[in-house]
Amino acid sequence: MTLPSIPLSGVIGDPIAHSKSPKLHGYWLRKYGLNGQYVPLEVETDDLANVLKAMPRMGFVGCNVTLPHKERALHCVDQITDRATLIGAVNTIIFRNDGTSLGDNTDGYGFIENLRQGAPNWLADTGPAVVLGAGGAARAVIASLLDAGVAEIFLTNRTRARSEQLREDFGARVIIVDWIQAGNVLEKAATLVNTTSLGMIGKPELRVPLDGLQKNTVVTDLVYTPIQTPLLAKASSKGCTTVDGLGMLLHQAVPGFERWFGRRPVVDDETRQAIQ
Ligand code: NAP
């Protein structure tokens, strides 16, 4: 008699010890009583393609990919979803039964789901969004805001060339604002998103003046260490609805978990407690 195999998944990065994903998936596997394992995998850049090729033969049904491999992973899978192509990075891989691999990106999905859960009255068509930062995470945020129906995004970044690249990629609904002028567009914002690493423990503070911020603006920060960032604290003191970045991390994990282990997990307060 052959025993059923154990579906394996994991997260590939370098370094990887800090990742919260093994704790999160482990919690859901236990909570739902599912057969499966999710492990952290430290893989160097030069080994990524070979590791991804070998994983299905080792019992892996898929994996997450994190820094610094998200862009390179685009070139190491057989097929890429439209949203991963648009974002220009892969964070979730599915190994299919026929031996082929599918690269997806769930960061934008995670961002919007978190926003909708944390600010249930948020509507895409209320007004423009202001996005601070034009790095890798900003691409997912912009793609998902535009897809949700936000008409205009004011994008501001220290390095203007990166904003210009995003405008080229996403089109004229993205309007570039000089970093030095960032505070001047906040009055117009129905949504304010910090996608920079500013405000994170160990990083400089976010110095964008918040005087123009209106209390009906929904403010969200991708930084989740600390969970209550100085930006969220200030926005909250002005009466804004605020949404922290931890929820994005949790929501982006949902599609992968469902696909690999066969059950759609719920993101709730218990899930948040479990990984802190
Ligand atoms: P990234 O590609 O390295 O981009 C970093 C961004 O921060 C760039 O816009 C960069 O501006 C800006 N920045 C860094 N130092 C700055 C400074 N001193 N002054 C002004 N701007 C500065 O990183 P990323 O992958 O986009 O991640 C950004 C943040 O989002 C990180 O804190 C990350 O942990 C967080 N994140 C959270 C989630 C989640 O699930 N909650 C998911 C993804 C990312 P320049 O272009 O001028 O360098």
Is 119 in the same domain as 142? yes
CATH of the domain at 161: 3.40.50.720
Higher pLDDT, 4 or 244: 244
| Residue 1 pLDDT grade (very low, low, confident, very high; cuts 50, 70, 90) | low
Q: How far is the CA of 263 from the centre of ligand 1 (A)?
A: 32
Is 120 in the same domain as 186? yes
Is 137 in the same domain as 97? no
Is 169 domain-assigned?
Answer: yes
CB 113 within 8 A of CB 251: yes
Alpha-carbon distances of 230 from 75, 210, 218, rounded to whole Å:
38, 11, 15
| Residue 4 pLDDT grade (very low, low, confident, very high; cuts 50, 70, 90) | low
| Residue 144 pLDDT grade (very low, low, confident, very high; cuts 50, 70, 90) | very high
CATH of the domain at 17: 3.40.50.10860
Say what the pLDDT of residue 131 is. 98
Is 102 in the same domain as 126? no
Is 102 in the same domain as 113? no
Is 211 domain-assigned?
Answer: yes
Say what the pLDDT of residue 45 is. 97
Give the bridge partners for 255, in sequence order.
none
Handedness of CA 247, 249, 252, 258 (dihedral sign): negative
Pocket flag, ligand 1, residue 249 (CB < 6 Å) = yes
Is 77 in the same domain as 132? no
Instruction: Kindly report the protein residue whose alpha carbon is nearest to atom 38 of ligand 1.
Output: 222
| Mean pLDDT to the nearest integer, 93-114 | 97
Pocket flag, ligand 1, residue 262 (CB < 6 Å) = no
| Residue 79 pLDDT grade (very low, low, confident, very high; cuts 50, 70, 90) | very high
Structural domains counted in the chain: 2
| Residue 2 pLDDT grade (very low, low, confident, very high; cuts 50, 70, 90) | low
Residue 137 Cα: closest atom of ligand 1: 26
Q: Which domain holds residue 34?
A: 8-106+253-275
Q: What are phi and psi of 39, to 5 degrees?
A: -125, 150
Is 221 in the same domain as 124? yes
**2-16, 210-224, 245-259: which has the minimum mean pLDDT?**
2-16
What's the whole-model pTM score?
0.96
Is 97 in the same domain as 130? no
| Mean pLDDT to the nearest integer, 234-250 | 98
How far is it, in rounded angstroms, from Cα 238 to Cα 77?
A: 46
Task: Judge whether residue 109 has pLDDT over 90.
Answer: yes
Q: How far is the CA of 258 from the centre of ligand 1 (A)?
A: 28
Is 217 in the same domain as 271? no
Is 241 in the same domain as 264? no
Pocket flag, ligand 1, residue 134 (CB < 6 Å) = yes
Is 124 in the same domain as 227? yes
Q: How far is the CA of 2 from the centre of ligand 1 (A)?
A: 48
Sequence-distant (≥ 6) Cβ neighbours of residue 199 within 8 angstroms: 205, 206, 221, 223, 229, 230, 231
Is 172 domain-assigned?
Answer: yes
Using the CB atoms, write b or e for 148-157: b if 16+ within 10 Å. bebebbbbbb
Task: Judge whether residue 250 has pLDDT over 90.
Answer: yes
